Amino acid sequence: MRILIIEDEKALADEIEQFLSNAHYQCDKAYNGAIASELLATNPYDFVLLDIGLPDYYGLDLIKEAKSYNADAYFIVITAKGELNDKLKGFEYGADDYLAKPFSLLELHSRIQAITRRKFDHSKAQIQFGKFTIDINKRLFSHENTNIDLTKKEFDILSYLVLNKGRILDRMQLTEHVWGGFYEEDYDSNYIDVHIKNIRKKINQFDNQNWIKTVRGLGYKFDL
């Protein structure tokens, strides 16, 4: 999943980025509202971690702005203000959760996981379809008791498709989720199609059902 961290305290933003990157999230950072606004307009995000107290923006206004570009993104408001009115206003603007500073990074991660489970109706870290199981935390994919060997990028693509079941994801969204940007040496424009082909091949060794559907001219969709 790709996360945008909007936080003007650079040390805190860097700490959050490193922690979440170690947990296999792709992260971008914005230290002010202007940069955040530009990133939100040009990149798809799954989560936005938003500090209300930005130097150049009223943070909550970014939620309304962001939803016009990232309608499916989830927002966790992070702020030093812990008053009830701030929380209520945040939820009114469309925030999904609220964390008051100081907070534990483990708690932040737990909130992200809880929102993911709630939004996608998954009560566990393990997701099942047919006789297949994806263990998000352990990063394992198996059929009954047999582990299926996926590369890191194959696992990221498959789990992202499954978490977004029934939703069409275009190649740009999948690319941004897996690579986070276009600067890695192993990025190539047709890699998504190649990875999807390899994932299907590995799944078809155990089950011939067409789980990952190609939506012509749009992208891919996972159907349960």
Each residue's pLDDT tens digit, 83-132: 667 677 778 888 888 888 888 898 898 888 878 776 655 545 688 899 99
Does the structure show a pLDDT above 70 at 149?
A: yes
**Residue 16, pLDDT above cutoff 80:** yes
Q: How far is CA 174 from the centre of its chain?
A: 11
Residue 172 pLDDT level (bands cut at 50, 70, 90)? confident
Give the strands of the sheet with 126-129, arranged side by side. Answer: 126-129, 132-135, 140-143, 146-147
Percent of the chain with pLDDT over 70: 87
Which pLDDT value is given to residue 182? Answer: 45
pLDDT of 220 above 80: yes
Helices (H), the chain: 10-22, 33-42, 59-67, 84-93, 105-119, 152-163, 171-179, 191-204
Q: Two tokens at 214?
A: 């190609």
What integer pLDDT is reported at residue 187 of this predicted model? Answer: 46
- Residue 47, beta-bridge partner list: 3, 74
On whether the CB atoms of residues 130 and 201 are closer than 8 A, the answer is no
- In the chain, the domains with their CATH numbers are 2-119 (3.40.50.2300), 126-222 (1.10.10.10)
Q: What is the pLDDT of residue 30?
A: 95
Place of tokens 């990232």: 70
Query: Taking the CB of residue 217, how many other CB atoms lie within 10 A of it?
Result: 6
Whether residue 168 is predicted with pLDDT greater than 70 in this model: the reply is: yes
- 18-62 residue pLDDT tens: 999 888 788 999 999 999 999 988 888 889 999 888 888 887 888
Contact assessment for residue 1 and residue 47, using Cβ atoms and an 8 Å cutoff: yes
Tens digit of each residue's pLDDT (9 = 90 or more) over 174-199: 876 676 554 444 445 588 899 999 99
Band (pLDDT 50/70/90 cuts) for residue 207 is: very high
Taking 90 as the threshold, does the pLDDT of residue 203 lie above it? Answer: yes
**pLDDT of 205:** 95
Residues across the chain: 224
Q: Are 101 and 80 in contact (CB under 8 A)?
A: yes
